[in-house]
Amino acid sequence: MAEGNLLRLVKEGNLILLKEEVANVWDAKKRHFGRSGDTLLHHAARHGQLRILTYLVETLEMDIEVFNSDYKRPLHEAASMGHRDCVLYLLDRGATVDCLKKADWTPLMMACTRRNLEVIQDLIDHGANPLLKNKDGWSCFHIASREGDPEVIQYLLDVSPTIWDTESKIKRTPLHTAAMHGRLEVVKMLLERCRYQPDSRDKCGVTPFMDAIQHGHLGIAQLLLEKHKEGHAGTIKTLLLLGADLNAKDGKNRTALHLACSGQHAACVQILLQAGLRDSPDSTGTHARQLAKKPALLQIFDGIPVPSCPVHQ
């Protein structure tokens, strides 16, 4: 019961009653709560209770580097929830700016999961390294590209101009990430400010264009296709260039048409077919049209001859 009261009072920011409750719990400042192993400091930082945080650090003398079961520090909590006052307090008290939690996530990476530019700036101003990667090879730039705040992307590129030149362990770039999640403004910025190849492939052979098609982000797919054409103007005939890009296949021999049909994105399928992409079997012998289920998609394929498929004969 005492544990529940402590955590409730921290969450509510009730410092007066918390002091009284702490006096009745002899190991309050050392106690780890629940399976997460959070301390009172973790809870105060998570809920943005600066007065409580100050009391725990300066009166109870709790260690600001205390970690829970996932090696998460109070700074991780404050950064991930966007509590700028708590972040600044912990940093001013000497918290390690690039401390690592489980899976090698830094507070800066946690801050980039939210669109809070000021917290990101504060961490970098205090020495956070934006080029660090977690166990999956993601940097804070991958995370920011997924969240899609153009101001954050612009700031990170300004303070670290080479930050864009990174890949995850499966060779996915921030451009892949932004395209997959439909972050049109970020994709525009990445294509303008960075030297990405629009048709770069990850380990599965997927390009940002294919990511955009699969998830129904037609505007991004068109932008990537246009950028691809611009980047090679004067070297290959436009028609051949367009065909080379559209006919790219992933590790399962699927084309963009397979991905568009799988996602039931009729508009994307229409664009691909009009651009000249022909249906072909993947590694299992499945044609894209066999994945079409919605009436709008079936109508597009109506009248187009069914390709022969020896695998199914």
Distance, CA of 122 to chain centre: 21
pLDDT tens digits, residue range 173-224?
A: 999 999 999 999 999 999 999 998 767 899 998 989 889 988 889 889 888 8
Q: What is the mean pLDDT of residues 3-12?
A: 91
The CA dihedral of 112, 113, 118, 124, to the nearest 10 degrees, is -20
Length of the chain: 313
CA-only gyration radius of the chain, Å? 25
Q: Which of 133-147, 150-164, 190-204 has the lowest mean pLDDT?
A: 190-204
Pick from 305, 220, 214: nearest CA to 254: 214
**What residues contact residue 265 under an 8 Å CB cut-off, 6+ apart?**
213, 214, 216, 218
Question: How far does CA 5 lie from the centroid of its chain?
Answer: 36
Statement: 196-304 belongs to CATH 1.25.40.20: yes
Where exactly does CATH 1.25.40.20 map onto the chain? 1-131, 196-304
Architecture of the domain spanning 1-131? Alpha Horseshoe (1.25)
> Is the pTM here over 0.95, yes or no?
no
Determine the Cα–Cα distance for residues 193 and 91; give it in Å rounded to an integer: 32
Confidence of residue 248 (pLDDT cuts 50, 70, 90): confident
